[in-house]
């Protein structure tokens, strides 16, 4: 069992009472191994694995494989995620959302809940995934691009979203916290814990939540979560929002007896559930007048026939996108983002939006890794099925055998799923798998 701070243990003993020994025992046991399948990249690899009861695509594994060296993981066929956080699916189902939702994941890195939302939101919706820390934003972008569904990625402080008052139908705040729920699997969370850090997290959460409420549309929903047991970071934050008179609490359904229902939300304890410690709460912004003075400027710039035909050549359901050029880069922008896209560009630090198709070099088009990973990439695009050894060599950015491939751009596939591009020349092939994605070490479960 990890060596835990005395102050933390004393508080947990008071909180849990007779369950405290069970909690301590739970921390001494190995952390469950779980993942969530990508419904748009269906695989059978984990068909025999036990299902996570609150997540249709969630699976428990008996032992941890080498995810990094599984080409299906690199193809975005699944996301390695702890099970408790997957309860997001039950919350979204409770909302019974209509089509065309504007959603914001305000503290999105590393991307577990964002990828889940992309799979859960109704047709015609769009998701903005935000992370202010640059290094974590890169991880977020990587995970979202692998998932293969178009989204908007921003790198902003929560206060920057004050430029979008009363805008989003749904805001998820998976707040930075003291991390007590991850003590079993993350020793750094233990070493960083202190009462002072708990207080610091509480103050930071208050500001983030104020900003979240400001950009939430009247009638819209706020999902708040942390991976801590601290009341000051959980129930107290929710109570503060409700007392402001602008928000109202929506009771969450504790669909399973092992989940603890508190007045302000749900608590997940590692000795009760097969997952880590977590808190979830759901609130709704009361109806009122929408403070919306924005003037959307739609880019009506005509696009060349070349760009429109390229979307048609590379994408299924190409009519769901409009082409957009920035310099020599060509993007496919989902039609539901058509108006908001220009506003996001002018108001936020936009890291990515829609689908980067590739880059024009005079009359030559260089397809992007984003396109290779997209669920909208046409399955009949030229390419070759690789066995596992060859796929691993490709993912290490090593030379690969181009035998059987036509000259030009080809997709590398494993079990029918795209990994990236190679370009076959007259006497060699070039590996275009992104160097920054090159596999070298094991992924961390979040």
Q: Which residues are catalytic?
A: 227
Cα gap 23→29, rounded to integer Å: 10
| Gyration radius (Cα) of the chain, Å | 23
Contacts of 183 (CB under 8 A, 6+ apart): 2, 4, 27, 189, 190, 193, 277
Cα gap 285→274, rounded to integer Å: 32
CA angle 235, 203, 167 (to 5 degrees): 80
For residue 123 the two structure tokens come to 């047709």
Cα gap 215→169, rounded to integer Å: 9
Task: Determine contact, residues 190/183, Cβ cutoff 8 Å.
Answer: yes
For residue 128 the two structure tokens come to 């903005």
For residue 17 the two structure tokens come to 């009472």
- Cα 326 vs. chain centroid, distance in angstroms? 25
- Measured CA to CA in angstroms, residue 446 lies from 32, 35, 179, 333 at distances of 12, 10, 12, 30
DSSP-assigned letter for residue 52: P
Strands (E), 8-98: 33-37, 50-51, 58-61, 78-80
Q: Which residues pair with 411 in a beta bridge?
A: 383, 421
């Amino acid at each position: 069992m990890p060596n835990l701070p005395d102050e933390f243990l004393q508080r947990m003993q008071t909180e849990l009472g007779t369950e405290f020994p069970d909690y301590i025992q739970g921390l001494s046991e190995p952390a469950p191994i779980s993942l969530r399948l990508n419904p748009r990249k269906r695989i059978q690899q984990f068909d025999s694995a036990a299902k996570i009861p609150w997540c249709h695509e969630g699976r428990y594994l008996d032992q941890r494989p080498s995810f990094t060296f599984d080409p299906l993981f690199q193809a975005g066929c699944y996301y390695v995620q702890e099970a408790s956080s997957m309860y997001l699916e039950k919350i979204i189902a409770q909302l019974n959302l209509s089509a065309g939702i504007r959603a914001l994941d305000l503290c999105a890195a590393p991307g577990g809940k964002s990828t889940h939302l992309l799979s859960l939101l109704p047709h015609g919706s769009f998701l903005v995934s935000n992370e202010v820390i640059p290094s974590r934003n890169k991880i977020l972008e990587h995970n979202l691009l692998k998932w293969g569904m178009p989204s908007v990625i921003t790198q902003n402080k929560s206060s920057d979203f004050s430029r979008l008052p009363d805008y989003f139908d749904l805001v998820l705040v998976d707040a930075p916290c003291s991390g007590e729920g991850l003590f079993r699997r993350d020793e750094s969370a233990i070493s960083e814990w202190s009462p002072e850090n708990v207080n610091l997290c509480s103050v930071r959460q208050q500001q983030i939540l104020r900003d979240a409420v400001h950009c939430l549309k009247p009638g819209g929903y706020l999902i708040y979560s942390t991976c801590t047991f601290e009341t000051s970071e959980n129930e107290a934050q929710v109570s503060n929002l409700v007392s402001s008179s602008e928000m109202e609490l929506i009771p969450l359904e504790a669909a399973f007896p092992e989940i603890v229902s508190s007045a302000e939300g749900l608590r997940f304890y590692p000795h009760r559930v097969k997952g880590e410690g977590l808190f979830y709460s759901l609130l709704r912004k009361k109806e009122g007048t929408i403070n919306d003075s924005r003037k959307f400027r739609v880019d009506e710039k005509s696009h060349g026939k070349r760009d429109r035909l390229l979307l048609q050549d590379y994408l299924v359901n190409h009519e769901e996108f409009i082409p957009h050029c920035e310099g020599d880069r060509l993007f496919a922008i989902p039609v539901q983002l058509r108006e908001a896209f220009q506003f996001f560009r002018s108001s936020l630090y936009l890291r990515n939006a829609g689908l980067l198709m590739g880059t024009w070099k005079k009359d030559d088009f260089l397809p992007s890794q984003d396109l290779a990973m997209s669920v909208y990439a046409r399955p009949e695009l030229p390419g070759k099925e690789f066995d596992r050894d060859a796929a691993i060599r490709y993912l290490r950015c090593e030379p690969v055998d181009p035998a059987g491939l036509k000259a030009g751009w080809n997709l590398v596939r494993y079990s029918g799923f795209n990994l990236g591009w190679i370009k076959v020349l007259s006497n060699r092939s070039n590996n275009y798998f992104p160097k920054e994605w090159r596999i070298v070490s094991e992924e961390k479960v979040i």
